[in-house]
Structure 1
Amino acid sequence: MYKSVTLTSVYVGDIGVPVEIVSTNEPNKNHIFNLIGDIINKFNLSGEITKGTYKDLGHGSKGYEYFSADTKILVVVKRVQVMEFEKNSNGYYYAEIAL
């Protein structure tokens, strides 16, 4: 059972909307590098990906900064709580999910 999940957000250059991925575990540096490669192909960008610079963003969040040619790519990895909102009331509670 999982009480929290990992949210990985990838911000690419001037594209205003991040690509967001939810997973049960934290991606390693190779996962992130491969994910960036897939996103670069999706947006038809070119250029070699430079090695990422790590930043501790506090509260368990991590940031990685990469570049592909002149395009800045920011990856933010953080744990988020799983919640369930009751449909017929204003109530909510922390939930557990099983995969």
Structure 2
Amino acid sequence: MNRSAFLLAGLLFSAVAQAESNETKLLIQGCAEVEAIYNRRGEKNLFAGLNTSVAEALRAGYCKGVLEQYRRSGGCYRTDWIRQAQQIGQKSDSQSINVNQLLRQSCG
């Protein structure tokens, strides 16, 4: 293999690692938004989103969608998805962890 093939492989690996890091960061931020939305209202109800920006709602919706899909696939049997979101939202995105690890840890 020549040097350009090694360089290309290195760049590809770097891009994949960066994408995984961004996905993890997005999930943590989205789940933190879920907690912030419900804390802002003081209760879990359908009107919690009325005081929420579009960006906050999209991030929170991403978190809820990921959690619902994970739960549908049989990955989690926890009954309270909001508690699961809170656990993910409290993680630091500086930790070296991927989305699958976050989901498994949040299920207990």
TM-score (norm 2): 0.29
Instruction: Report the structure number with the largest CA radius of gyration.
Output: 2
Q: Which has the higher strand share?
A: 1
TM-score (norm 1): 0.31
Q: Which has the higher helix share?
A: 2
